[in-house]
Structures are given as C-alpha cells and as structure tokens.
Chain A
Amino acid sequence: MYVHRPDGPTCAPPAALAPSPPVLAGRRIGILDNRKPNANVLLNRLADRLARRTGAEVTLVEVKNAAVPCEDQVLGRLVEEVELVLTGTAD
C-alpha cells in the first residue's frame, strides 16, 4: 500500500548562521541575554572570562522577553557593534 508522507517540504529558514571565526582574540563579541532565569548569571561570567582570556571587547545586550523573537532594534545594534554573538540558555 502507498501512503502520502505527512511532513511535506520545508522552505529555507529566513537566516543562516555565519561561519564562526577561528580565533576570538581581538574580536568584538556580543552577549545576548534572553532574560531566561539565571541566563544573566551564566552569560555575565562568560563575558568576564572571554574578555580576560582573549582581550576581546565584550558587549552585553538584553532582549525584552525570551518568548518572542529578538527586536529589530537589538539585532541592528548587534550588527553594528559586534562580530559574533553568544546566546541561548533555557529554563
């Protein structure tokens, strides 16, 4: 018996990740805090250590709420100010 696949095709996601740079030294790094509980604890510590170990310039940015996409204004600031972004913590 033949049946239809129920999943169907996918379209390309609206954005793809840029390739990661081979070294962090001297880079401008953005830390995007999604405001999940304790995200700031982890990300602040990460920012401190990155800055000390690599000499990178680290910028901390917050989104308004983890449940909605990052605001265009915040993304625009990151595009202007940094070369790579670290983010992504859950509950």
Chain B
Amino acid sequence: MSVDTADLLEIPDDGDVTASLAVHGWGDGLPVIAPTPERVAEMLSGCGGTDPDEVVAVLPPRFGEASRQTIAVSAVMAGCRPEHLPVVVSAVRALARPELNLRGVNATTHCVAPLLVVHGEVARTAGYNSGLGAFGPGNRANAATGRAVRLILLHVAGATPGDGDASTQGGPAKYGYCVAENLDASPWAGYAPSVGVDSPSAITVHCGEAPHNVHDMESDHPARILDKVASAMATTAQNNACISQGEYLVALCPEHAATCARAGWSRRDVSSYLFQQARLPAGELTRAFGLRAWAPWMEYLDDDTPTPMTAHPGNIRILVVGGAGKHSSVIPSWGMTRSVTLPVEP
C-alpha cells in the first residue's frame, strides 16, 4: 500500500475529529471515527491481498476515483469492521454500473437513496441482520455498511446537498440504508440466483424510496395480503407512477412469504399477481402526470383501462426480510434506474 503524505491531513490530537473533517466538507453530520493510517491499513486487511490502489469505480458527479483505500477511509469513518469492506467495495462497483444511472440518482430533486441488500454467506459471517428490525436500528454491520456507502457518495462522488445532490427534502435513508435477505426464513431460493448471480455471497443495490409499510395480521390466503401490497404500489404518490421501467422491491416478511408459499405460490407467481393487481386507470395517471416516461403501448390506453404501475412483471422484485410479525414493505425505485446485483468480491 502506498501512503502518500499528500493523502494525509494533520488534525489536533485532542480535538474534535468530526469538526476537524467537517471544515473540509467531509462527514454526514454524525460523529466519525478518525481514519488514521493504522485503522485504514487494518480495514484493508478485510480485502485480503488485493491492490489497495486499484480504482474499482469512478463516481459522478465529481468523477472521484474510488480505490479500495479510498473506500476503506470512509468505511473506517462509518464504523465498519474489516469483514464489512468487501461488501462496501462490491456496493461501490454496483453503483458505477451504467444501468443504475448514479449521476441521475445523485442529481435528482427526489429523495432516492441506494438500498443495499446483502445476500448469502457474508450476511451470516459478517453479522448482517436479516431478521427482526432488519432495516434498523441496532445492528453494526447494517448501520455501518449503509453509512460507509453514503460517506463514499459524499466524499468521492461529491453528492453533497446543494452542489452534488439536489434532493428537495433529503431523507433519512440517505444516512444509511442496508439490510440482509432472510434466506433462512425464505420459502424460496435466494434472490441473487433468481436474477442470475449464483455466488456464495452477493449484494443488490436498488436506488429507491424509504420503505412503504404494508400490514396484514389476519389473512390466510396470498391474494388478501398481496392486494394490500398492490395498493401500496398503485399510487400516484411515488416516482415510478410515470416511469414504466421503474422497479418495485417488495420485501415480504417471513410470515407473509410463508402464506404465499403454503398456497403453492412461487416468487414469480407473486410478481405476476402484483403486476395484474397494482393498477390505476390510465386517465388517472395521465391527469396526474403530463410528463411520462412510458412504454409506447401505454400511451394508447383508454382512460378507463386499468394500467400497470410498471411495464413488466419482472420489474417487481420479491425477497424476504424481517422477523416475527406481519409487516412487509414496498420500496419503489426512483424510476430512471435499474437495480444491480453483483457477487461480493474484495
């Protein structure tokens, strides 16, 4: 590892680290851990013998070069442990994929934030919470990994509110947004293999809104539960409503998923049902949005025609998250973005 003294900054030994870094515009407002050379070197041990200076992604709008070392610096500040670093590095790779459209995600006035979903072995070995309270608070791996990615967006990508992030209101998910898939409680095979990533550990990055809650305490048939999920999807109060390529990540709780599976429904059955049920009359949508990014066929529908909230059932992504209880959630995407799933690799 090359430690260039130009990369180092002297701050007072007995001073306020957070304040000393904030003078330069760094940090997210919460206290940070000082990224000393010793801590950064220890963090890099999480990526084994890989080259710390290799640039794994270039992140707009600043066009910052995210090397493993640069990523490790924000990971230290966020409170990550070395075993979390490969997840953060893989998330950064996903952020740079063109279909994710990071420049748009960072520049928009919408409140979008990248949701990280950790899949497979690393969720267990590195201590990610996929069960009760998975979206937080209370788990270091989830909290620190989500926060590290946000710090990288602030520091390396330059997504600072005002200059590089035009979000009108911002949002709590912009502090950190990380969860794990609950494979142990899922009646279906893992999400990552379902989208073609057959790796022991994987990560999905889905740029979306905060979770929209769906509760159903009493149903013993999938349709009654999923009709409520469809209701959360079929609203003009989300960005996907005027963008037909938009994705919905539906995080079913284990009990809702079990009800679906007991009735013989596969993950694809759930997506197909939601595609059929999550609809609004075309006229309601066209009255709400003069500017639309719709598939051409949708523009020719009569006002009364029930119109799907997204153009293809494959845009409705199903996975299992959470613990005991009967609350699921719908996470609409920002719209002009596609989720990315990659193997976790250092």
Q: Which residues of A contact B (CB under 8 A)?
A: 1-13, 35, 37, 64-65, 67-69, 90-91
Whether B109 lies near A90 (C-beta < 8 A) is yes
Whether B109 lies near A1 (C-beta < 8 A) is no
Contacts of B11 in A (CB 8 A): 1-3
Complex: chain A residue closest to B75, CB-CB: A6
Does B312 touch A at the CB level, under 8 Å?
no
Complex: chain A residue closest to B13, CB-CB: A1
Q: Which residues of B contact A (CB under 8 A)?
A: 7-13, 17, 21, 24, 26, 34-37, 40, 58, 62-67, 69-70, 73-74, 77, 101, 103-104, 108-109, 151, 155-156, 166, 290-291, 293, 335-336
Q: Given that A67-B101, A68-B101, A90-B109 are known contacts, is A2 also in contact with B10, CB under 8 Å in the complex?
A: yes
Whether B67 lies near A67 (C-beta < 8 A) is no
Q: Given that A37-B291, A90-B109 are known contacts, is A4 also in contact with B8, CB under 8 Å in the complex?
A: yes
Q: How distant is the Cα of A5 from the Cα of B65 in the complex, in angstroms?
A: 13
Whether A11 lies near B58 (C-beta < 8 A) is yes
Q: A1-B11, A35-B291, A90-B166 are in contact. List 10 more A-B contacts (CB 8 A).
A: A3-B35, A4-B9, A6-B77, A8-B65, A8-B73, A10-B63, A10-B65, A37-B290, A65-B293, A68-B336
Whether A67 lies near B155 (C-beta < 8 A) is no
Instruction: List 16 contacting pairs A-B, 8 Å CB cutoff, sorted by A.
Output: A2-B8, A2-B37, A6-B21, A6-B156, A7-B26, A7-B70, A7-B156, A8-B64, A8-B66, A10-B65, A65-B336, A67-B101, A67-B335, A68-B104, A69-B103, A90-B109
Q: Given that A11-B63, A13-B63, A68-B101 are known contacts, is A5 also in contact with B293, CB under 8 Å in the complex?
A: no
Q: How distant is the Cα of A14 from the Cα of B155 in the complex, in angstroms?
A: 20
Whether B109 lies near A67 (C-beta < 8 A) is no
Contacts of B291 in A (CB 8 A): 35, 37
Min C-beta distance of A1 to chain B, whole Å: 5
Min C-beta distance of A4 to chain B, whole Å: 4
Whether A8 lies near B70 (C-beta < 8 A) is yes
Whether B34 lies near A3 (C-beta < 8 A) is yes
Whether A6 lies near B26 (C-beta < 8 A) is yes
Whether A11 lies near B65 (C-beta < 8 A) is yes
Whether A5 lies near B166 (C-beta < 8 A) is no
